A and B are shown apart, each in its own frame.
Chain A
C-alpha cells in the first residue's frame, strides 16, 4: 500500500537560514511526488512535483525538492527562509498519472525574524 510520512510535526527556522521539511514515501511502482503549502484558512496550493527526470526539482516561491530513490525520500528545501514561508506543508504521493493522492499529516513551518 502507498504511504507518506512526514516525521516532523513542526520545523522552526530563523529567517535567512536554510530550511528542510522531510518526507519519505512508500509505493510499489514509480512514484509521482508532490509538495503543497497551506496558509491559514485556505485550501492547499501546489508547490512542485517530481514525475521523472532530474532528481532536483524547482518549484514556486524559491522552493526545491530532492528526490532520492534509494532513501525513498523527497525532502523540501529552501536556501534562505522568509517569515512569509510560515505555513503548513504537505507531501503527497501517487502511483502513475491517475489515481488518488496519499497525503502526509503535514509539517508546520515557523520562520522567526
Chain B
C-alpha cells in the first residue's frame, strides 16, 4: 500500500521563522501536491510537482515555495511564517486513476 509520510503532526512556530514541511512517498509517483485546509474553505492547492525539480503554482502560492530534489520527497517552505498561515497542511501523491493518497497532515500554528 502506498504510504505518504509527513514528518510532523503538530508544529508551533514563531512569526518570521522559516518553516519546512516535509513529505515523503514510497511508490515512485511522479505527481505530488501540497494543500492547506481551513474551515469553510475546503482544500486549497498551494503547489504541485510533476517531476523532480519541476514545480507549478497552485491556487494560493503566495508566501510559500517548494523543493523537489528527489522523486520521493516534496518539501513545502514558508519563507517567513505569518499568523495567517496557521492551518492544516496536507501532502498528497497521485495514483493515476486511483486519485490521491494523502499524508496524515501537519497542523501548523504560527504565534
Contacts and interface: CB of A to CB of B under 8 A. Distances in A.
Interface of A: 9, 32, 34, 36, 41-46, 49, 51, 90, 92, 94, 97-98, 100-101, 103-106
Interface in B26-74: 31, 33, 40-43, 45, 48, 58
Contacts, number: 55
Given A41-B107, A98-B96, A100-B33, A105 B41 contact: yes
A9 B43 CA distance: 14
A97 B96 contact: yes
B102 A45 contact: yes
Interface residues of B, number: 26
A32 B99 contact: yes
Interface of B: 4, 6, 9, 31, 33, 40-43, 45, 48, 58, 90, 92, 94, 96-105, 107
Question: Which 8 A/B pairs are nearest by Cβ-Cβ distance?
Answer: A105-B42, A43-B102, A103-B43, A44-B102, A34-B99, A43-B104, A97-B97, A43-B105
A83 B16 CA distance: 43
B101 A46 contact: yes
